[in-house]
Structure formats: C-alpha cells, structure tokens
Amino acid sequence: MILILYGIWSYTDRSSWEQTPDSRLKRIESFGKNLKKGNLLGIQPWMYPIDYSNEINFSKKIQSYLEEASKKGYINPKTIVVFPEYLGTWLVVAGEKTSVVKSNKLEDSMRTLILSNPVSFIFNFSKHKERIKSETHF
C-alpha cells in the first residue's frame, strides 16, 4: 500500500504548464560596422525556473530572444548565434513536480527531485561513483 501511495505521489503534480516568456532585452551592445558579410550574435538570456519546467517553455523563451534580435536587425542569413555553454543544464527539471520548479531553495528542489526519482538517482549516483574510482586509479 505504501509503494502504491508513493508511486501516486511521485507521478502527480508534474510541471506541464506553459507560460508566455519574458524576453525583455535589458542591454544591447553592438560593435563594428555592418558590412553585410555576416555577424556574430551573443545572447545572454535571463532565465527563470519556469523556463525550465518543460521543453515548450524553454523553446519559447529562446525563440523569443531570437525574434527580438531579428526585429532589431541583428539576424541575417550569415549570422552565427551563440548562447552560454550551460544554458540547458537545468532542463533536468523539465517535467518534474511543480514544487521542484517553484521552490525558493535549491536544497528543497534537489530533495524532491531525488525522492520522486529514486531509481534513476541511485543508478546514476552509483555510475558516477564508479567513474570517479576508475579515474583516480591510473
């Protein structure tokens, strides 16, 4: 009975709501001249936890920045767009419980994430420990 209740708790209240992204550009810098030979566009998006709650919100947020840059004339067929390296790291919470996304403390979010996915956590944790052991024995 306890396992059934745990299973129900684990799979209920998963975040799937969609939100209109907030893509206000706070700062824009332009260097050089537009020679129509291509350009490099760096975007540092301001992300909120809700943006990582599901793939749709994340995609909408990124798309909103690209659309805003396009409206301002920064994107053409020869444009290379660059985002921060770890921008997608927090997609690990996509589809997780709403409390994971809405929590004000990282510790609380991580605890709920682990408790609602114990098999995955134990598997990946043990795999990581094995990898560390193999890397330290050269």
- pLDDT, one tens digit per residue, over 16-51 is 666 676 766 667 777 777 777 888 889 999 898 889
Angle at 28 between CA 23 and CA 30, to 5 degrees: 140
Tell me which of 6 and 125 has the higher pLDDT. Answer: 125
Say whether pTM exceeds 0.85: no
Whole-number CA gyration radius for the chain: 20
- For the segment 4-16, what is each residue's pLDDT rounded down to a tens digit? 766 666 666 666 6
- For the segment 56-113, what is each residue's pLDDT rounded down to a tens digit? 999 999 999 999 889 988 888 989 999 999 999 989 888 888 888 888 898 998 898 8
